[in-house]
Chains A and B, each alone.
Chain A
Amino acid sequence: MNSNLITNVGAAALAVAVFAALPFLFPGAAMVDFIVYVAAYGLLAMSLNLLVGLTGLVAFGHAIFFASGSYTFGLLMQSGAVSIPVAVALTVIGTAALALVTGAICVRLKDVYFSFITLAFQMVFYSVVLTWVSLTGGDQGLLGGIPKPVFAGIDLNNGYSLYLFCIILFAICAIIMRQVWQSPFGYTLRLIRDNATRADFLGVDVFRMKLAVFVLSASIASVGGIILALFVSGAYPEFAFWTTSGDAIFALMLGGTKLFLGPLFGAFLLELLEHYVRAHTEYQNFVLGIVILLIVLGLKRGILDYVHDYWVRRRKVEKKPATAVKLARSPDA
């Protein structure tokens, strides 16, 4: 075991312990709901950031994998043939296969064309879900709920067990992503983001690297979909609609793309905004719009990125008062 892995697993275990204790300190279903939603959409946003922030691939259609996770898992459980862990594994494998096929087509295109083709695939998926009523229930979503049979003595029909299960799934995915974030593979992806031509000259197989991160990111997005499907006991076509991808992108921009936890922070803020603004005004979109404009035009980056840049700049100023401040672009953390 290298030291990174130990640190990451330790941090994740600590976080899981804290979150496992939270419902005892602050009882009430509302907070558990909130945390699970942030975990599900947070995984979607964090996995998207592997593409956007790490590799520079701006995918508009990432929710296809989120929805594929929800629907595959829901259908597998409704078939009654497999246990929950097996269904989770099969769902991730199935979504990875879907990502391998669509990714092989998508990552050949660049810039806005890449963005549009991912959107196109997502909307085709959405239409298939809507049209194939006998399998997916069409616009009603997967009907009849998702059964949660007991496995290894764990009963997910118990609210707390379900909560814990979701948190642990999230933690495992976060560890995997963090490892990638710090690995040589992760630095290769940054190289591709910053200068794909140079990466190519250095002997990096750009296409394969992009495809690899595409598949990885899709697999993790599917776990987000599984969490949501488990929690709401269903799957709905809205999961595959472009607005779900839009929210994920929004979370990225709100939280920031340079820090590993930026997207999670963004997803948290987004849920918070929707939650509280909706309670106070029916013109929540107006407020949301103003907030976005302020952040984008004022900070010109996500909130955590701004804080991070600010700290880096201050540290430099303290160390070397003479030069400093000219730092245009801080390194990734």
Chain B
Amino acid sequence: MNIDALLLCLSSSACATTQISTAFIIGMLLFLVASGLSLIFGVLNVTNFAHGGLYMLGAYFALSTYAVTGIFWAALVVAAVATGFVGIALERLIISRIYGADLLMQLLVCYALTLIMDDAIRFIYGSDYKMMGMPGAFALPPLAIAGGFIPAYYLFMIAASAVAGLALWFTINRTRFGKIVRALAINPSMVSVLGINTTLLYAIVFGVGSGLAGLAGGLAAPIRTLTPGMGLSFLLDSFIIIVIGGMGSIGGAFVASILVGFIKALGAIGFPLFTDGLMFAIMAVVLILRPQGLFGERSAR
């Protein structure tokens, strides 16, 4: 533990700015993954443990698209859309068979999917680290903000995640489609009786959730090294987030993501070995005091 280093960093505005911007990019990426996870859990009542694998797929889709076309926007769109379609295919072929099955079945099927996706990526791309490189449009000098320097891409990433998150929130809470989805979460048979194709809707929701993970992967590709298995740590983090924020709550996922982002960014300086421990400890405390999560509504006792 090195709390002095942490305090020293926080007292210098350059270091503090850097760490805070890091906290936000970690937080926003996690938010995209976790909100997709939360959406799927809230509507389909499936704990999708394969979500980290979808994030990884998104990153590799972006890598390949960028290598072929050289257009970063195309890479992002392909990452989100292609991962979304992979999600739909998984839902139709496999996940739909375990609706209503117990937690262990879901866990095991998703675990199997993660193993398969990881090895498939390893088979295609090899197991060495891949770098996508910063797209030309963002190869700018870092911006000086409050004495610290923040790469332009970070700001774009935060903005893009925020836009995606807001769009999701708006769709779920303010549109007719969102109303149907919320109804589906509460009473699927009633929705079905009203003449709505719930099978299609489930697939779409799963696809959107997967697409968000893919988008997060695409956004992360320029600044992270890509490896098979990169999704796994993200998966654990996003579970911590949906438990802390409340399962099925997008606002909760946002607050918890930023919290986890800060713990990771500041922990990297102050207590690098115990950042995971601290996150799980917070998760345990939340589960003890408010099991449904900070913003959740379900009863958990």
A130 within 8 A of B: yes
B113, B123, B283: the one contacting A289 at CB < 8 Å is B113
Q: Contacts A250-B108, A250-B111 given: A121-B284 contact, CB under 8 Å?
A: yes
Q: Residues of B at under 8 Å CB distance from A? A: 1, 47, 94, 97-98, 101-105, 107-109, 111-116, 118-120, 122-123, 236, 239, 243, 271, 273-274, 276-278, 280-281, 283-284, 287-288, 291, 300-301
Among B115, B122, B243, find the residue whose CB has the most chain A CB atoms closer than 10 A: B115
The answer on a CB contact under 8 Å between B112 and A113 is: no
Identify 5 residue pairs between A and B in the complex whose beta-carbon atoms are under 8 Å apart, listed by A's number.
Answer: A109-B301, A117-B284, A120-B283, A131-B271, A286-B123
Among B112, B239, B281, find the residue whose CB has the most chain A CB atoms closer than 10 A: B112
Interface stretch of the complex, out of A88-96, A212-220, A292-300:
A292-300
The answer on a CB contact under 8 Å between B120 and A286 is: yes
The distance from the CB of A103 to the nearest CB of chain B, in whole angstroms, is: 13
The answer on a CB contact under 8 Å between A283 and B291 is: no
The answer on a CB contact under 8 Å between B301 and A110 is: yes
A166 within 8 A of B: no
The answer on a CB contact under 8 Å between B283 and A116 is: yes
A274 within 8 A of B: no
The answer on a CB contact under 8 Å between B301 and A127 is: no
- Residue numbers in A under 8 Å from B116 (CB-CB): 285-286, 289-290, 293
Q: How large is the interface on A (under 10, 10 to 19, 20 to 34, 35 or more residues)?
A: 35 or more
The answer on a CB contact under 8 Å between A52 and B288 is: no
- Residue numbers in B under 8 Å from A126 (CB-CB): 276-277
A54 within 8 A of B: no
The distance from the CB of B271 to the nearest CB of chain A, in whole angstroms, is: 8
A278 within 8 A of B: no
The distance from the CB of A186 to the nearest CB of chain B, in whole angstroms, is: 20
Q: Contacts A109-B300, A283-B122, A286-B120 given: A296-B105 contact, CB under 8 Å?
A: yes
The answer on a CB contact under 8 Å between A283 and B111 is: no
- Residue numbers in B under 8 Å from A286 (CB-CB): 115-116, 119-120, 123
A123 within 8 A of B: yes
A236 within 8 A of B: no
- Residue numbers in A under 8 Å from B115 (CB-CB): 285-286, 288-289, 292
B109, B243, B291: the one contacting A296 at CB < 8 Å is B109
The answer on a CB contact under 8 Å between A52 and B274 is: no
In the docked arrangement, what's the CA distance between A285 and B119, Å? 6
In the docked arrangement, what's the CA distance between A242 and B107, Å? 13
The distance from the CB of B237 to the nearest CB of chain A, in whole angstroms, is: 11
A145 within 8 A of B: no
Q: Contacts A105-B288, A124-B284 given: A246-B111 contact, CB under 8 Å?
A: yes
- Residue numbers in A under 8 Å from B288 (CB-CB): 105, 117
- Residue numbers in A under 8 Å from B123 (CB-CB): 283, 286
In the docked arrangement, what's the CA distance between A105 and B301, Å? 12
The answer on a CB contact under 8 Å between B277 and A124 is: yes
The chain A residue sitting closest to B273, CB to CB, is A131
Interface string of A210-244 (1 = CB under 8 A from B): 00000000000000000000000000000000100
The distance from the CB of A314 to the nearest CB of chain B, in whole angstroms, is: 25
In the docked arrangement, what's the CA distance between A109 and B283, Å? 13
The answer on a CB contact under 8 Å between B276 and A123 is: yes
A123, A242, A246, A283: the one contacting B277 at CB < 8 Å is A123
The chain B residue sitting closest to A116, CB to CB, is B243
In the docked arrangement, what's the CA distance between A253 and B94, Å? 17
Q: Contacts A242-B236, A246-B111, A285-B118 given: A120-B301 contact, CB under 8 Å?
A: no
- Residue numbers in A under 8 Å from B1 (CB-CB): 131
A108 within 8 A of B: yes
A249 within 8 A of B: yes
The answer on a CB contact under 8 Å between A138 and B273 is: yes
The answer on a CB contact under 8 Å between A123 and B111 is: no
Among B102, B114, B116, B301, find the residue whose CB has the most chain A CB atoms closer than 10 A: B116
In the docked arrangement, what's the CA distance between A130 and B116, Å? 30
Q: Contacts A123-B276, A297-B97 given: A289-B104 contact, CB under 8 Å?
A: no
A128 within 8 A of B: yes
The distance from the CB of B65 to the nearest CB of chain A, in whole angstroms, is: 24
- Residue numbers in B under 8 Å from A246 (CB-CB): 111
- Residue numbers in A under 8 Å from B104 (CB-CB): 52, 58, 249, 252-253
Q: Contacts A116-B239, A285-B116 given: A296-B280 contact, CB under 8 Å?
A: no
Among A105, A288, A296, find the residue whose CB has the most chain B CB atoms closer than 10 A: A296
Q: Contacts A113-B287, A124-B284, A127-B280 given: A293-B112 contact, CB under 8 Å?
A: yes
- Residue numbers in B under 8 Å from A194 (CB-CB): none
7 additional A-B pairs beyond A120-B287, A283-B123, A296-B109, beta carbons within 8 Å, are A113-B291, A117-B284, A124-B277, A127-B273, A285-B119, A296-B112, A297-B98
In the docked arrangement, what's the CA distance between A253 and B101, Å? 13
